[in-house]
Structure 1
Amino acid sequence: MTRYWVFTPWLPYTVDADEMVANCKFLNGQEVFAAGLSAGEFRSTPFPMAQLKMTMPGFDLDCFDWDGQTIVSEKFRLAAGLASDEIEYFDIDASETASWAQEKKYKIMSIPVNAALADVSLRFGGAPSTSAVVSAMMAGKIAVKSSVSIPFELFHDTVLRGYRFCTDEFALRLLRAGCTGMRFLDPDFIGRPRPMRYRTLRGVEEAGDWDPVAKILHSKLVESIPDAISN
């Protein structure tokens, strides 16, 4: 049975959010925002080339969200290995970006496909279907269907449109490639009030506390998955 994770761009604790805000922006942000990208839909009209200015020293994430857009590197795209009928990438003008960030060859990523994975019949607190997203956030978990055939490796859920899911195989390709800036959350443990658990090469780990002195995020292995590092 295929196992699915919640794909989430994730800013590492080692990246200062305030410094990033001060050093990253779309120079034509209003134009990009006005053009819009609809989740779960293929783009039918031209999308303006976003003009990214990134001057944060040493910034090298392979995936991050900015001003409503998900930005991914060439390394991410190659590791993802998705076909044009299940993903869209839009060019970025990085001429105003620092050289180290230009080397990432960033593009905007849009996921134009949907699938019914979340089991909204198992809503928490008896919330109506229109409140499925809020219900999931309050419960800290998402119920998924136990038997379902989905032809995509990365997709939006048809009901929980705020969530993107991926297969275990997809997650492992990115993890093995050493891509940074994303987490693959266990749908049963997406965060408060439940602990957050996520896929790593070791298996499934549970997030602990950030150690500001050692500058590491403590975690513990809660599920070992055999052959997780095999190629």
Structure 2
Amino acid sequence: MHCYRHNLREIVSKSILVQQDIVRPNRIPADLVVNCVITTIVVHLDQDPNKFIYHISSSLRNPFKISDLINIAYDYFVKNPWIDANGKPIVTSKRLWLTSLDAFNNYMMFRYVMPLKVSNFVNKIFFRLFQNNTYDNNCKKIRMLKGLAKLYTPYACFKGVFDDTNTENLRRVAKGYMGNGELDFDPTNIDWTNYMMNTHIPSLVKYATK
């Protein structure tokens, strides 16, 4: 077990190049992952699987930034608006992306917490003229949202870039086995705007938002 943990730390330390200035999520279409797996099986059919590790990723060679995702999603839903229960199009607005937990907490404080506290203070001055649970309910929602933000910050704001040098070498070797390029898994061939606008987001709308 100690040997396994040591090897795992070594693998992680050698495969992640930390970038301090920008969040570049590691996204890759599933079909490219499948192509890489099939190619790996073919190339290493008679080899020990402990001697090679491949990262199929896009963060190094063709990064797709969170800001790109926000802009593309905005453009898509402006052109293809959702329709509400009354048959009216839902107005789409650009989302605000906060790059750290501190920025999120500051935004929540000025945008929601302070107005909520002011309204509660005014209500107390007027001897609780508005007798309802609005303040308590909203406080619970804010606490829950902050908890979720804290939980997902390490993933949403991850600034590591995965080194896919081994995978690049695999692509070169694979040309000798499959020269026609049918099993493409090169992230530099991904047109992110086209993929998101015409494949990814339409699929989510069709299958994941029933």
TM bucket (normalised to shorter chain) is under 0.3
Relative to the length of structure 1, the TM-score reads 0.22
Relative to the length of structure 2, the TM-score reads 0.23
More helix by share: 2
